[in-house]
A = this chain, B = another copy of it.
């Protein structure tokens, strides 16, 4: 193995030429660095003769968006490759195919989803996806069930947990999601227009902060299953009919509700952003209705598939006790609602924002969306423990309007 080096486009092409069975010998390869994330290089390597292409995802030894001052373990590439493989086994077709993985180069060679769009961009554009709620519900149910104690042999589960030892990326979440938004941290990125609102609303609300501290405690202690760890609408790629979940480099053993909550949060951020992207209030009302329906259906698909797996494939004998499932699914729901609140708030005042809201050109509309996201986020965090079904989210949104 050669020593790690961050690839140039030329080095990416040279590496691609050596891949067995990937391109014909006559290939005329071109490489383009297309990464728009915060952490990695993403190259598209394309043969202009055959039209065939692949993606190279290479981890960088630092946080790309910040630079060399924030070093980050290359081991996350191994974690991502392994998580994608497990997800492919659990729900074939819902993740990109991994062709090969080079640990030394922290490089994943994988399927090019060139005909797919990042879901977040589709939502901003007001598109609708007929299979999205089903696909994501199924993806979550299957990936989250099959790595849990409900299904896995307990010794094998603990071995898998070690494979997904991911302390540096967990630390990013611990800081950026669960800590920094709740004080005047240098990492925060607080829009100037709402700074005066944030201090009393987030920093002086001890009841809110206490609930966030409890959710942070769950994030760091509740090793229920292998979670994706960063399941926002930028980690989902879509076509009109197809869905692929990408980028599980934050994968670790955590609470099941963390993934579910991340999806809820990002759909609700889109909900808040709608007036800034639609031409009139009628369009806003209609698309918001679609988003709330997507949330509801996604949960119902998730819950139905998770229940089916529980009923047919649970190996853990005590989990089969009457009433256990109801308890189990309810704590997933309540965790998910709480985590959703944390994820909404951090996307408004924390380091990393979402395009849904930041691209709203009209200042008044953008500020309204930001304040609404903070209000819904806080209400979800504080109201989660009364939730017994997904309709609780709709009620909480109502109170926060």
Contacts and interface: CB of A to CB of B under 8 A. Distances in A.
Interface of A: 149, 154-155, 157-159, 162, 165, 167-168, 170-171, 174, 178-179, 182-183, 206-207, 209-210, 212-214, 216-217, 220-224, 317-319, 321-324, 327-328
Contacts of A165: 158, 162
B321 A210 contact: yes
9 contacts: A149-B221, A154-B167, A154-B220, A158-B167, A206-B321, A206-B323, A207-B323, A212-B318, A222-B222
Nearest to A222: B221
A322 B158 contact: no
A162 B361 CA distance: 48
Contact of A149 (B182, B220, B322): B220
Contacts of A159: 167
A159 B206 CA distance: 31
Chain A interface mostly helix, strand, loop or mixed? helix
Contact of A327 (B155, B174, B210, B222): B210
Contacts of A212: 318, 321
Q: How many copies does the complex hold?
A: 2
Contacts of A322: 206, 209-210
Contacts of A170: 154, 158
B179 A318 contact: yes
A73 to B, nearest CB: 10
A348 B183 CA distance: 51
A182 B322 CA distance: 13
B154 A214 contact: no
A212 B318 CA distance: 8
B162 A209 contact: no
Given A179-B317, A206-B321, A217 B158 contact: no
Contacts of A214: 324, 327
Max count, chain B CB within 10 A of own CB: residue among A165, A182, A318: A318
Nearest to A178: B318
Given A158-B167, A179-B317, A206-B322, 18 more contacts: A149-B217, A149-B221, A154-B167, A154-B174, A158-B170, A162-B165, A178-B318, A179-B318, A182-B318, A206-B321, A209-B318, A209-B321, A209-B322, A210-B323, A213-B319, A213-B324, A217-B319, A217-B328
Nearest to A150: B217
A199 to B, nearest CB: 16
Contacts of A209: 318, 321-322
Contacts of A327: 210, 214
Contacts of A171: 154-155
A353 to B, nearest CB: 22
B321 A213 contact: yes
A171 B179 CA distance: 35
